[in-house]
Structure 1
Amino acid sequence: MRKRTIFAAVTAALALPLATAVPAGSHGWVTTPPSRAAYCAAGTVTNCGDIQWEPQSVEGPKNFPTSGPADGTLCAGGNSRFAQLDDPRGGAWPAKQVTAGQQLTFTWKFTARHATTRFRYFMTKPGYSASTKLTRSNLDLTPFLTVPYNGAQPPTTVSHTATMPSGRTGHQVVLAVWDIADTGNAFYQCLDVTY
């Protein structure tokens, strides 16, 4: 009996570090219009690093814009593993054609559902240069769409329809933020659009 108890204690002691070392499960990303992560996962854009296998994992600190990922790392959620998402690629990311006032639907796909505070969508300011990294100073920090969720879990997919802001021309970037209610993190997705 004593050997069995010692074996169980040793097994439990060894299992604990392994259980805590396993990264959190997958989460969610914007599939329509395709986000940078979605383009990388589909192979439409290459040289994406780990994001090609983990488009759902762009997670970083929440409370953007007062805190959250550092400027220049917003598209990767501050996660250096996904730094390729922050590379403006000289403005060459594929971009969805849009017009001011157009209704555009954003669809998220989830592989792990979380209690959710809200979804928010921000856009770059007029005059944004698509060859520069995304920072707070080149974003309109008032979301053009906020969808409250009040702690509910979203279904496996969720869509939000927004009116595209006016006053922009050329290549712009949408920063979509999924704020999680029961953790200190949020999920970040960058989408490129052309007016």
Structure 2
Amino acid sequence: MSKVKINPLYLVLGTFIMIALTLSFNTNKVSAHGYVDNPKSRAVLCAEGVNKDCGGVVYEPQSIEGPGNYPEAGVPDGKIASGGGVFPELDEQGENRWAKVGMSSGAYTFHWTLTAAHATSNWDYYITKEGWDPNTPLKRSDFELFCSIDDGGKRPDFSVSHDCVIPNVLDTMLF
């Protein structure tokens, strides 16, 4: 399979959204605590000092969580990146606001570090759609599901990896 280079901005936001959205593990209020560390999420890059002006998430990148049932319910549009507004700085958008994480299309293993492993139904991974505007607040219509892992309601380990396939995206998507 040939690899297509994906615009890093496209993926860093998509990756971060995976955190906010996959924390919608159960059909009730979320009680999961963890973060994606491969690729490094927006919150992890804040904790490492790469992203600046992040607010309190620098002390607890594992605490981005919101109510479940995304995309039908859950956090409101405009508050998606922060999991509902607990860390409002994460909802700030701008073409150059956040560090970019380069990735390519094709097979990829995502890794989570969990600080409190709670029963998990599904791990849903979303990515920003082609043509989304990086300068406006994130909304549901900006994302598409590209990978879903059924965990059957089991309690996961504190270290979790998922193999997914990142969709092909034309590298002509420059912002």
TM > 0.5: yes
Corresponding residue number in structure 2 for 1:33:
39
Structure 1 or 2: more strand by fraction: 1
- How much identity, in percent, do the aligned residues show? 37
Corresponding residue number in structure 1 for 2:94:
89
Structure 1 or 2: more helix by fraction: 1
| Residues matched between the structures, number | 145
Any unmatched runs of 5+ in structure 1?
1-23, 173-195
Pairing of 1:63-74 with structure 2 (within 5 A):
63-74=69-80
- Contact 2:32-2:118 within 8 A present in 1 as well: no
TM-score normalised by structure 1 residue count: 0.68
- What do the CA deviations read for 1:166-193 (whole angstroms, capped 9, x no partner)? 2344479xxxxxxxxxxxxxxxxxxxxx
Indicate the RMSD between aligned Cα atoms, in angstroms. Answer: 2.1
Corresponding residue number in structure 1 for 2:149:
147
Q: Does 1:75 align with 2:81?
A: yes
CA distance in 2, matches of 1:54, 1:64: 23
TM-score normalised by structure 2 residue count: 0.75
- What do the CA deviations read for 1:118-153 (whole angstroms, capped 9, x no partner)? 10001111112222221012112xx21101111111
SS of the residue corresponding to residue 106 of structure 1 reads strand
Corresponding residue number in structure 2 for 1:19:
none
CA distance in 2, matches of 1:94, 1:126: 19
Which structure has more RCO (C-alpha within 8 Å, separation ≥ 6)? 2
Deviation at 1:81, TM superposition (A): 2.8
CA distance in 2, matches of 1:171, 1:56: 31
